[in-house]
Structure 1
């Protein structure tokens, strides 16, 4: 039979202090160094574990962090989630994870569920537009976006915002641009990554470069259009939905409708996988017939024949830093973070013959 679980009263009695002092020490409040040391030593000796349920009921919140991602089977979002979990674990906070399927309606339902559970901190890879986050913010929820920002509401000037971001990367000072989502975010510098990849392909002689995108890739396609320059051949800019079947159909259709293209930039690892499979099915040789660059590095990229050139981004760090921001939130609004990307050149790109 298990021994009776120690209570906060047991710790207080053994340490010779009041219950309030024990509570203050365990919650990180003020106490003398000697008292803190004695309380913590007794708590460890008695294997005392505070009741999270009772503590949070008194605080009228459930505790923990909400995490919403589009697809947990996508290795990028899996690594992002690992970063969030690692940071939350070090802070002793549980994480409630939800998968939105990149569906704004499902995202809204999950936000409502978290609000009902009184979760007041949320990290999200957003699927809907900025308006979807109004109820959460008004309810007092601290929201930090990761990997991407909500899409702009209809009528907002996407092109001017994209141009401003690109000017900042070049060290210029654009005119201020109003943002629809004035919330902190942790992002990879995907614009710099996309531009570096396009310049690399252009340096190899490629002039008909296609872009294969999906949900949440607004910033990446804006960077692509800017990098290839005007006029943009819009037939070479193709979007899929979030599913693997849709990604394969988009890649296959692109190859078949534009046999004159010489290079493809896939804006995510699911899209990159689809491009590899479609090229193989259509007997297109990489890189002799078509060069491929994929945004995001994954283990299988090096196992391809030839290995894929990629734009690597720090997925786990994005999650970890987002959790740090949401945990540090208080009276001061946390600032956003931009993390660097890196072009890793392998064997999937060659000179235009």
Structure 2
């Protein structure tokens, strides 16, 4: 019986590092001398051969598109996937779909699997940093980012996703993730959407406006800070992890710690759902006690009582345009795309009382 072939995950576990670190070392990326030596020694000991990163990758490509999203149960990411599938279907291309759980390590593992399967095009809503994508671009795979950009490398001293923070008006500058600076992205105009929502709330008399964010919302919180102006009350800027439980805990904690707030801008539909549930549990009346604006227009937003005011972004169009770009190939560097957002006013916002 043939022995099981070692995987990149085996190397990571034996070396006591993450999958992303192994991928970075084996592709020649940044790592400390000690880490590099340990990873290479373990890889040799386990006879790990990263065939997908080898020189023969281009000769063994099998076609198809790899699509990585953080959460298949999230309505917005489902819309992105629908757009990718529609474009790929029209082009006769198969799609390999993976869910990263907004976990950089899981994302790195899935990226490795796609490379080993010789997928030659990848569309990703990235969860990890630029270093995760260095092996992919070096292997000659065509990559397009959708909705987000990868964050800063793990050894960057700046908090959050510096690449995302730079992307307030369009496509990123080549820093800090220089290895992926040339990768196009299809994004919604977060800056305009957030700015319009803050101006709308300000026009209703709200001054203590809170921001409820989560993974991948660096551009949105940067836009929020810019829109509200200095000084920013940082107690009103709260982040959750990707889970619904964390979103609910963040929303509930925000309402209880700052009873003086009058409006909340939730940066995604999971966070908006959490804000609605937390307000209900705490007997806060919407919009009489607190006004709510949610980024993302999803079907249940109109079914709330009252219906939610939202910043609508074109999820399906983001996916479709990303698929168009990735199918265009690498002959000529494609330009990134920024798509418009729209503030849809419903019944969840009212004048400050």
Describe how 1:90-239 pairs up with structure 2 within 5 A.
90-153=90-153, 154-155=156-157, 165-166=167-168, 168=169, 178=175, 180=177, 181-182=180-181, 183-239=183-239
State the 1:222 CA deviation: 0.3
Name the counterpart of 1:73: 73
How many residues align? The count is: 290
Structure 2 runs not aligned, ≥5 long = 1-56
> Does the CA contact (< 8 Å) of 1:162 and 1:223 recur in 2?
no
Name the counterpart of 1:89: 89
Distance 2:337 2:164 in 1: 17
> Does the CA contact (< 8 Å) of 1:160 and 1:177 recur in 2?
no
Deviations 1:150-172 (A, max 9, x none): 11232359799778655x58xxx
**Stretch deviating more after TM superposition (232-241 or 329-338):** 329-338
Name the counterpart of 1:36: none
> Does the CA contact (< 8 Å) of 1:159 and 1:222 recur in 2?
no
> Does the CA contact (< 8 Å) of 2:151 and 2:160 recur in 1?
no
> Does the CA contact (< 8 Å) of 2:123 and 2:146 recur in 1?
yes
Describe how 1:172-321 pairs up with structure 2 within 5 A.
178=175, 180=177, 181-182=180-181, 183-321=183-321
> Does the CA contact (< 8 Å) of 2:150 and 2:164 recur in 1?
no
State the 1:178 CA deviation: 3.6
Distance 2:195 2:330 in 1: 36
Deviations 1:227-258 (A, max 9, x none): 11111111110000001011001000000010
Structure 1 runs not aligned, ≥5 long = 1-56, 170-175
State the 1:209 CA deviation: 0.4
* TM-score scaled by length of structure 2: 0.79
Name the counterpart of 1:11: none
Deviations 1:165-222 (A, max 9, x none): 55x58xxxxxx77452411000000111001101110111101000000000000000
Name the counterpart of 1:52: none
Distance 2:122 2:164 in 1: 26
State the 1:61 CA deviation: 1.6
Distance 2:84 2:165 in 1: 31
Distance 2:289 2:101 in 1: 34
> Does the CA contact (< 8 Å) of 1:70 and 1:127 recur in 2?
yes
Name the counterpart of 1:60: 60
Distance 1:106 1:161 in 2: 21
> Does the CA contact (< 8 Å) of 1:151 and 1:218 recur in 2?
no
Name the counterpart of 2:344: 344
Distance 1:275 1:250 in 2: 9
Deviations 1:48-80 (A, max 9, x none): xxxxxxxxx996222110000000000000010
Distance 2:160 2:274 in 1: 28
Deviations 1:34-53 (A, max 9, x none): xxxxxxxxxxxxxxxxxxxx
